Amino acid sequence: MSIETGAAPSALVDQTEASCFYHPQKQAVRVCDGCGRMICSLCSIELGAEHLCPNCIAAGRKKGKLTTLEDRRVRYDSIALSLGIFSFLFYVLAIVLAPAALYISIRHWNSPGSLLGRSRGRFVVAIILASCALLIWIAMVSVLVWHSPHRK
C-alpha cells in the first residue's frame, strides 16, 4: 500500500566514498597532516603525533620542514627504510621516493644518531631497496618503450 520513498539511494556511496590518493582502490582511513590528502592505512606514516603520506615525508625532507625530527629523535634509518619499502609499493612514486631514501641514507650515514648504538643495517637495507626499486623502474620504462607498438 505505502510507497517507501524515504530511503536515499545508497548506490552513490561508491562514488562519494573517500579513497586513498595513492590507491584509488583502497578506502581512505585518515587525512595526511601534511597535505590533507586522503590516505589509506598503508600510506599513513606515523611521525610523532602526525600521520604523513609518503610524498610529504619525501617533500618534507627536501624542504627541511621536518626539522623537529631531531628533537623527536625520529630514526632516520627507519624513515630511509620506509621510503625504500614505499618505493616498492608505489612504483609511480619510486622515482621520487627511491632517491629520497638514498639521500637520507647517505646524508645521515654518519649522523650523531648512529652514536646511539644503532646499527646501519636499516640504511643498508634502504639503499638496497631503493636501488632495486630504481632499477625495476628503469627496467619497466625500458620494457614499455621497447614493446611500444610500432606502425610499420
Instruction: Kindly list the residues in this chain that would bind Zn ion in the complex (CB under 5 A).
Output: 20, 22-23, 32, 34-35, 40, 42-43, 53, 56
DSSP classification of residue 7? S
CB of 27 to Zn ion, least distance (A): 9
Residue nearer to Zn ion on the CB measure, 37 or 118: 37
CB of 39 to Zn ion, least distance (A): 5
Polymer length in residues for the chain: 152
Residue nearer to Zn ion on the CB measure, 35 or 140: 35
Residue nearer to Zn ion on the CB measure, 51 or 127: 51
CB of 37 to Zn ion, least distance (A): 5
Cα–Cα distance for residue pair 56/131, rounded to 1 Å: 21
Q: DSSP letters along 24-68, please?
A: TTSB--EE-TTT--EE-TTT-EEETTEEE-HHHHHHHHHHTTTTT
